[in-house]
Structure 1
Amino acid sequence: MTDLALPRGATQVGLAVDVAAFAMHAGELHVLLVQRGELPHARDWALPGGFVHPGEELHEAALRELRTETSVELEPRHLEQFFTFGEINRDPRGRIVSVAHLAVLPHGTVSVSGGGHTLGAEWMPAHRTPRLAFDHQAILDRALGRLQLRLEYANLALEFLPDTFTLPELQGVYEAILNRKLDKRNFRKRLLAQGSLTPSGERRSGVGRPAQLYRRAKGTRTPAL
């Protein structure tokens, strides 16, 4: 029988997950943060996360921590692992490796509240966060880079929108994630040429001419990696 005991001198390593959960609010990309209620970093803001339970899959742990610490009950429209953070001194409690997850929450997800050992939970502008605990700023920065990369080869921007949307609303998601303005004419030309959108046959009334509504074309779901 194979000896499963740790060899002499081997390092005890804790396994954790952290979740960078995003949504659009008032035309700006927001990330969900919690205020820690325990040491280390008590009262500091952080990404939702915690230790993986025995027999628990990583994505299950990510969803559990997201629900427990923020009271979000809705299923993310997108959830993926995107990087593993294992620097030796990233956590003062010992050697802890965190598998970071990126989540996109459904359009209209606004109400959150702290739970578990947190003092509170809030949506904050993703490009303008307060000082974060541990190495969570590095995790957030990499998550933002992942979002920007996914705009180039997937349809992740569509996960931030309701089922039907206008092209200006879609452009607003791109600009919020990239944190810069885009040329309207070139954006529309490129997006419509990709074949990932189809007219819904409806228009939204408002100021001026009613805007054409679009929806995701069939067969263009965002792949989860």
Structure 2
Amino acid sequence: MLGLALPPQATQVGLAVDIAAFAMHGGELRVLLVQRGELPHARDWALPGGFVQPGEELHEAALRELRTETTVQLEPRHLEQFYTFGEVGRDPRGRIVSVAHLAVLPHGTVSVSGGGHTLGAEWLSAHHPPRLAFDHQTILTRALLRLQLRLEYANLALEFLPDTFTLPELQTVYEAILNRQLDKRNFRKRLLAQGILTPSGERRSGVGRPAQLYRRAKNVRVAAL
């Protein structure tokens, strides 16, 4: 079967990826942002991202841009495509469609620096970020909504924690993502009833009675899309 040639008036479209990468720092949900070093939007904060190379899979492009622009070399504990942004005029360089990815980086991922053409990289507040370049505030807002939705029918909160954790630490993750407080008793009762946690057999010493440590139950994974 012969391929169809593009008509002369066909729009030339660039394909890009943008990554909303999240982690917990000091009980707060943070997003990884870079300070752009090139026009357009030079010196503005933005999500890591860039153009997809020929023959490159989308998730490969997302990982490459994340590592190149932020020097983060750790493999995300979770990476998914969550929306495609293709509004006319979203990028002054031309018609560019971006496939946005949501990433959760391993617990303890703190130290970052800018790489490639960026001036710097920092973990900043996910709910109260600085002014962002392009339509990246819209992308971040939708990423947060996706993250909150995944709390309701998946086990994504567990990806923000180390292998063992306390129930208060898990509740902190939920509250940070939802940006609101939860009732401690109801939260504990609901989580334990779901069967996604199992006691580790260890306790963490601190102020007061040592806290029971939990881990994810066997065969519990992030739910499929």
With normalisation by structure 2, the TM-score equals 0.98
Aligned length: 225
Task: Please name the residue that 2:18 is paired with.
Answer: 18
Task: Please name the residue that 1:84 is paired with.
Answer: 84
Taking the TM superposition and a 5 Å limit, the aligned residue runs for 1:13-92 are 13-92=13-92
What SS does the aligned partner of 1:138 have? helix
Find the aligned partners of 2:42 and 2:116 in 1 and give their Cα distance: 14
Deviations 1:80-109 (A, max 9, x none): 000000001100000000000000000000
Structure 2: gaps of 5 or more residues: none
RMSD: 0.8
Find the aligned partners of 1:58 and 1:149 in 2 and give their Cα distance: 23
Q: Report the CA distance between 1:77 and its aligned residue.
A: 0.1
Find the aligned partners of 2:220 and 2:12 in 1 and give their Cα distance: 43
Question: Structure 1 segments of 4 or more deviating over 3 A?
Answer: none
Deviations 1:16-43 (A, max 9, x none): 0000000000000000000000000000
Find the aligned partners of 2:31 and 2:119 in 1 and give their Cα distance: 17
Task: Please name the residue that 2:93 is paired with.
Answer: 93
Q: Is the 8 A contact 2:153 2:223 kept in 1?
A: no
Taking the TM superposition and a 5 Å limit, the aligned residue runs for 1:27-176 are 27-176=27-176
Q: Report the CA distance between 1:224 and its aligned residue.
A: 5.0
Structure 1: gaps of 5 or more residues: none
Find the aligned partners of 1:224 and 1:69 in 2 and give their Cα distance: 29
Q: Is the 8 A contact 1:79 1:224 kept in 2?
A: no
Amino acid at match of 1:181: Q
Q: Is the 8 A contact 1:35 1:43 kept in 2?
A: yes
